A and B are shown apart, each in its own frame.
Chain A
Amino acid sequence: MTQYFQDSWMGYGFGWLFATTALILMIALPLMLAVAMIIYADRKIWAAMALRRGPNVVGPFGLLQSFADGLKVFLKETIIPSSANRGLFIIAPVITFTLAMLAWAVIPFGPGMVLSNINAGLLFLLAISSLGVYGIIIAGWASNSKYPFYSALRAAAQMVSYEVSIGFVLIPVVLWAGTFNLGGIIEAQRSHVFFLNGFGFNPLLFPMAVIFLISAMAETARAPFDLTEAESELVAGYQTEYSSMSFALFWLGEYGNVLLMCALNATLFWGGWLPPIDWEPLYWIPGIFWLFLKIFAFFFIFSWVKATVPRFRYDQLMRLGWKIFLPISLLWVFLVSGYLMVFRYGALS
């Protein structure tokens, strides 16, 4: 597409700018729609598991509920507490939301269908997700109120801890694929185990897939790890002082991150846009459909866990991250690199 616009009357530089802007909009706008629908889906799944009906009034089956909520929130007044740090208070939700959007730049939606096909795609994702904590910390501090501040401190420790194990979980994947490029990682999963597409089908990498899924829940502060907004202790955590659009931006950013983590699960361990089975007729269905199917399957797991698992205590959370996930993933780095050294690179022969 970039090529097409550069060959037209626009010329090289302007054509690039136009094409890239158009591509960004082509990702960001459907993403916003997806976030709105996923919030609806989350509420519906949660309700079904609690034997309730969930949103069912606005539109057919309540499908328009998220849009009604959005409109309502948009029309409300933005309240800034008088003792809050004004500039930082406003910028915090913007940071959260922007970072949640930014990370989608390197996610491949199909063969060659990626906004920015960079070499260090996975590192870019790690960098963006490690920045995500700033929105929460700044919000907690700028609110100048004790519950948001507690929440910010919890979030900081929680996210830094789980990033460590996420980093180690990714190393076996990168070693096996031999590249940091997400497209390359997906290609490496083609018929990985006999005719199955996906690192997750490999018994050696499956434990990493499980750890990554759980760490992803902790990293996005979803239930059962939602200690940052534990309403029984912290009112609404870092969002306590927020209202109207600034609150909505947090909300959108949070669900954008959840979708991103689902997409990462699908991309890194379950073949991304590849169909699960390496069988020719399945490739007739466009890759984007498989990716969306996998993202939704993971989102269902996220909702399912949210509806069934009780919230962790903070010390249990830290124990899980540092004393269980970190040693296991560190061990797996050794195991996988040893396996590859012997069987792929022939270290013993």
Chain B
Amino acid sequence: MIQTFVFYLFATLVIASAAMTIVARNPVHSVLWLILAFFNGAGLMLLLGAEFIALLLIIVYVGAVAVLFLFVVMMLDVDFAALRAGFARYLPFGTLLALVLLAEIIFAIAAWNIGGIDNGVRAAPTDTSIPNIQALGTILFTRYLFIFEAAGLVLLVAMIGAIVLTHRVRSGTRPQNVSQQIRRRPQDATRNVDQPSGQGVQL
């Protein structure tokens, strides 16, 4: 009973906050609503017993990606009028995209119900006797090892690409050399003088 109530609570909140993400006038509010939607999505996953995925969603998306997203949106100087004007123009395209996604979800559910790819997996989709993390780890590092490693490599390439694209060597700057700073000793930089009065200091 409580599970059903909590499910509908989370589901309603996901939909409401997703709608608010689109409707909100202020982009920062949009991002905050999006974060709330992520958070409630994680709640739904917890209800399904996928605690690892749920917590990872919070750590990665809410804790890191959305923070950086918020960071960028806060610093942007967004012209709201231009954004409003674009709404009508992108409406047909957006509707099409939404329809495609909806159709995909329906197909996926239908395919799941008909069952085809692997009936053995489908018959016992979750094994509650072993923890989530262990189950995922076992399958990722045995059966899907190659795909997993390949995905890691793709991400690495993307990261290197991003660094190459944004990193420029600027001439004329004088960056600090930290090891040089640490190596510096007081006796290299200062000296004691017995200063006679009435004369300037010899530098």
Contact = CB atoms under 8 A, between A and B. Distances in A.
B132 A120 contact: yes
A138 B56 contact: no
Contacts of A118: 51
Interface string A134-174: 10011001000000010011001101100100010000000
A47 interface: no
A119 B51 contact: yes
B67 A133 contact: yes
Nearest to A153: B71
Interface stretch (A124-132, A196-204, A264-272): A124-132
Chain A contact residues: over half helix, strand or loop, or mixed? helix
B131 interface: yes
A250 interface: no
B182 to A, nearest CB: 11
Interface of B: 2, 28, 32, 35, 51-52, 55-56, 58-59, 62-64, 67-68, 70-71, 74-75, 131-133, 176, 178
B62 A119 contact: no
B160 to A, nearest CB: 16
A123 interface: yes
Contacts of B51: 118-120, 123
Say whether chain B's binding surface is mostly helix, strand, loop, or mixed: helix
Given A13-B2, A141-B74, A156-B71, A130 B133 contact: no
A137 B67 contact: yes
A14 B133 CA distance: 31
Contacts of A88: 32
Interface of A: 13, 88, 118-120, 123-124, 126-127, 130-131, 133-134, 137-138, 141, 149, 152-153, 156-157, 159-160, 163, 167, 180, 315, 319
B74 to A, nearest CB: 5
Given A13-B2, A123-B52, A130 B64 contact: yes
Contacts of A138: 32
Contact of A137 (B56, B70, B132, B178): B70
Contacts of A134: 35, 67
B23 to A, nearest CB: 16
Contacts of A152: 74
A130 B63 contact: yes
A133 B74 CA distance: 15
Contacts of A319: 178
Contacts of B2: 13
B55 A127 contact: yes
A16 to B, nearest CB: 10
Contacts of B64: 130, 160, 163
Contact of B52 (A120, A159, A160, A315): A120
